[in-house]
């Protein structure tokens, strides 16, 4: 009976020998268990050149990988990566300097006046990323960041893919030119892209839901839907699979968005359901969007009193 129940919950797997092997995991408990098992790790646990072809193909056109310098964003670095501690501490310290009341008022003001998307994204990038670059990030950079890929489906459209890969190089080159030499270029290039593509969307959602607590908004409508991992040893994932994974070849996609809506746990909106290796930006994000929501609510009630 236990086996029958288990087979009902078997994850979806697309496996074509020598071509692709990818497993989708949506169940929150499975995600947590597999993450803690040591059977999987972040993609860059393996050298870029040895990763599955489709991983290299897709990620070079996203904000998570810089092919020219062979750099990966921190979230994709393996557990034992020697640079992890220093990079993590740097990002935390920089974000720890917070934001100002004037930042909140400016962003709330832009939302109220329905500012054009590109201008809004550009202003938001300054709030989060000026601290890293030490200057106003040019509009050409924030516009390029918007063009990088967000889903694998987009990679199948050749013109979109070529444009995205070029845009990603443009943002990474700007960061390489501008950042102090000891800062990892892609950690910051990623942050520009995420603000343009995700934080802008998040603030529009807040504007449309002024009375809903932000925790509720972002667990009902999570912002990041998937997190990738790669098998580091042969495993049937505690009986979930018919055939074992292959180290360095089988990719797992944790459907963290589905897990967030099921559990209402913000640690699935910003990670894999636990505080370890959750998004470094999470606390900043929750405080900032709550403050903007409050500012928007206050102007709404001022207007109705007038
Ligand atoms: C609202 C926008 C954002 C969302 C929804 C988001 C979501 C996430 C998620 C789900 C992860 C975990 C990925 C994984 O487990 O594979 C993550 C990791 C991370 N995020 Fe964010 N993120 C956002 C913005 C940012 C920004 C703006 C920064 C930096 C300024 C940032 C820095 C990081 C870092 C450094 C990690 C890796 C943490 C680690 O591995 O220890 N995130 N983020």
Going by alpha carbons, the residue nearest to atom 6 of ligand 1 is 270
- Ligand 1, closest atom to CA 269? 10
Predicted local distance difference test score (pLDDT) of residue 57: 97
Q: How many CB atoms lie within 10 A of CB 29?
A: 12
Task: Name the β-bridge partners of 13.
Answer: 23
Q: Which of 32, 225, 281, 287 to mutate to test the pocket of ligand 1 (most atoms within 8 A of CB)?
A: 281
CA of 270 to the centre of ligand 1 (A): 6
pLDDT category of residue 2 using cuts at 50, 70 and 90: very low
Least confident of 5-14, 27-36, 219-228, 246-255: 5-14
Residues 94-125 pLDDT 10s: 999 999 999 999 999 999 999 999 999 999 99
Residue 163: phi, psi to the nearest 5?
Answer: -65, -40
Q: How many beta carbons lie within 10 A of that of residue 51, not counting itself? A: 20
- pLDDT for res 282: 98
> Residue range 9-23: average pLDDT?
92
Predicted pLDDT at 10: 78
Domain extents in the chain? 2-305
Q: What is the mean pLDDT of residues 214-228?
A: 98
Q: Given pLDDT bands bounded at 50, 70 and 90, which one contains residue 79?
A: confident
Q: For ligand 1, say whether the CB of 78 is within 6 Å of any of its atoms.
A: no
CA–centroid distance, residue 278 to ligand 1 (Å): 7
pTM value surpassing 0.85: yes
Instruction: Give which of 29, 35, 34, 65 is closest to 47, Cα–Cα.
Output: 65
State the sign of the Cα–Cα–Cα–Cα dihedral 100, 189, 223, 237.
negative
Q: Are 244 and 15 in contact (CB under 8 A)?
A: no
The chain-wide mean pLDDT, for the chain, equals: 95
Percent of the chain predicted with pLDDT > 90: 94
The Å distance, Cα 161 to ligand 1 centre, comes to: 23
Contact 296, 111 (CB under 8 A): yes
For strands 227-231 and 251-254, give the pairing: antiparallel
From the CB of 237, is ligand 1 less than 6 Å away? no
pLDDT value at residue 300: 75
Q: Is the CB of 252 under 6 A from ligand 1?
A: no
The protein residue whose alpha carbon is closest to atom 35 in ligand 1 is 280
Give 93 Cα–ligand 1 centroid separation in angstroms: 15
Give the pLDDT score at 299. 82
- What confidence score (pLDDT) does residue 7 get? 47
Q: Report the DSSP pairing between strands 227-231 and 20-25.
A: unpaired
Neighbours of 258 (CB within 10 A): 19
Which residue, by CA, sits nearest to atom 31 of ligand 1?
281
For residue 195, give the DSSP letter: I
Nearest ligand 1 atom to alpha carbon 95: 30
Stretch 149-159: mean pLDDT: 95
Write the residue with the smallest CA distance to atom 40 of ligand 1: 75
In which band, very low, low, confident or very high, does the pLDDT at 3 lie, cut at 50, 70 and 90?
very low
DSSP 11-52: PEEEEETTTEEEEEE--HHHHHHHHHHTSEE-GGGS-GGGS-
Query: Separation of 306 CA from ligand 1 center, angstroms?
Result: 41
Picking from 174, 199, 175, 62, the residue whose alpha carbon sits closest to that of residue 117 is 199
Beta bridge partners of 253: 24, 228
Q: Which residue has the tokens 């408990």?
A: 29
Give the DSSP letter of residue 228: E
Mean pLDDT to the nearest integer, 135-158: 97
Residues facing residue 231 across a β-bridge: 40
State which fold the 2-305 domain adopts: Cytochrome p450 (1.10.630)
Q: Is 5 a residue whose pLDDT tops 80?
A: no
First to last CA, the chain: 66
pLDDT at 32 over 60: yes
Centre of ligand 1 from the C-alpha of residue 228, in Å: 13
Query: pLDDT grade, residue 4 (50/70/90)?
Result: very low
Looking at residue 157, its pLDDT comes to: 96
- pLDDT, average across residues 143-163: 96
CA distance 248 to 44: 10
Is pLDDT of 8 > 90?
A: no
Whether the per-residue pLDDT at 9 is higher than 90: the answer is no
């Amino acid at each position: 009976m236990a086996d029958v129940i288990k087979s009902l919950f078997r994850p979806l797997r697309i496996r074509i020998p020598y071509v692709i092997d990818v497993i989708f995991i949506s169940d929150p408990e499975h995600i947590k268990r597999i993450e803690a098992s040591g059977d999987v790790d972040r993609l860059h646990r393996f050298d870029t050149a040895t990763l599955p072809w489709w991983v290299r193909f897709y990620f070079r056109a996203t904000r998570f990988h810089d092919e020219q310098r062979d750099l990966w964003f921190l979230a994709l670095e393996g557990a034992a990566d020697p640079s992890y501690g220093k990079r993590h501490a740097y990002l935390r310290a920089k974000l720890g300097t917070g934001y100002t009341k004037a930042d909140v008022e400016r962003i709330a003001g832009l939302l109220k006046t329905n500012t054009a998307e590109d201008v809004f994204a550009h202003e938001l990038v300054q709030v989060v990323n000026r601290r890293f670059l030490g200057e106003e990030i040019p509009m050409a950079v924030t516009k390029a960041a918007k063009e990088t890929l967000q889903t694998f489906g987009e990679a199948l459209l050749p013109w979109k893919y070529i444009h995205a890969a070029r845009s990603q190089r443009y943002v990474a080159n700007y960061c390489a030119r501008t950042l102090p030499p000891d800062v990892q270029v892609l950690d910051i290039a990623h942050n520009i892209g995420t603000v343009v593509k995700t934080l802008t969307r998040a603030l529009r959602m807040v504007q449309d839901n002024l009375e809903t607590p932000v925790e509720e908004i972002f667990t009902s409508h999570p912002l990041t839907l998937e997190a990738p991992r790669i098998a580091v040893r042969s495993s049937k994932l505690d009986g979930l699979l018919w055939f074992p994974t292959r180290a360095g070849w089988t990719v797992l996609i944790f459907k963290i968005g589905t897990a967030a809506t099921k559990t209402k746990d913000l640690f699935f909106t910003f990670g894999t359901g636990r505080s370890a290796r959750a998004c470094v930006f999470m606390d900043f994000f929750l405080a900032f969007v709550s403050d903007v929501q409050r500012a928007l609510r206050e102007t709404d009630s001022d207007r109705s009193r007038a």
